[in-house]
Amino acid sequence: MSDLQDLGVERTLVLLKPDAVARGLAGRIITRFEDAALKIVGVKMKLMDAEFTRKHYFDLEDRAGPAIYNTTAGFMQSGPVIALALEGVEAVAKVRKIIGDTFPDQAPPGTVRGDFAHQTKSSSEVSGKAVMNLVHASGNSEEAKYEIELWFGDSEWFDYETLVEKFSY
């Protein structure tokens, strides 16, 4: 991967949250990443227990407060999650662009959240429910590194060449 890093190739983590899995949107969401020349190098389905949720969202309570953490943690533990490790040129920024704004009502059409998620920020605040926005994506390269190492062990990576890589790199 070090030669590819010179080309801006990086890895990022995406979680298809319980609402994406329950609504049967996993395939449609994954297709958007593959259409954008992002390669799946790791994938797994998992139920997040309290301990693992705390590790994943280790700083959320400090950043947003205990109420937000508890609401988010409860939602993330409510059903299975599909974790994807994606690789590609500027993968972190590309994924963030594909998924759209955190709040679905602020995400533009053409993004995952703009097309498939419909909850508003205010409805989440009034109801006290987590924002059901279908996906989590690493916010920056450092976060991606931490999250990928948390979710995937060394033996869970797949190294293969896609046609995009063959003709582009």
Q: Which residues are catalytic?
A: 136
pLDDT of residue 155: 94
DSSP strands (E only) in the chain: 9-16, 39-46, 81-89, 135-137
Look at strands 81-89 and 9-16 and give their pairing: antiparallel
Average pLDDT over residues 1-26: 88
In the CATH hierarchy, which fold is given to the domain comprising 2-100+135-151? Answer: Alpha-Beta Plaits (3.30.70)
* Alpha carbons 26 and 19: distance in angstroms, whole number: 10
pLDDT of residue 122: 84
pLDDT of residue 124: 81
Task: Report yes or no: 33 and 96 within 8 Å, Cβ to Cβ.
Answer: no
Look at strands 135-137 and 39-46 and give their pairing: unpaired
pLDDT per position as a tens digit, 78-124 = 999 999 999 999 999 999 999 999 999 999 999 999 999 988 888 88
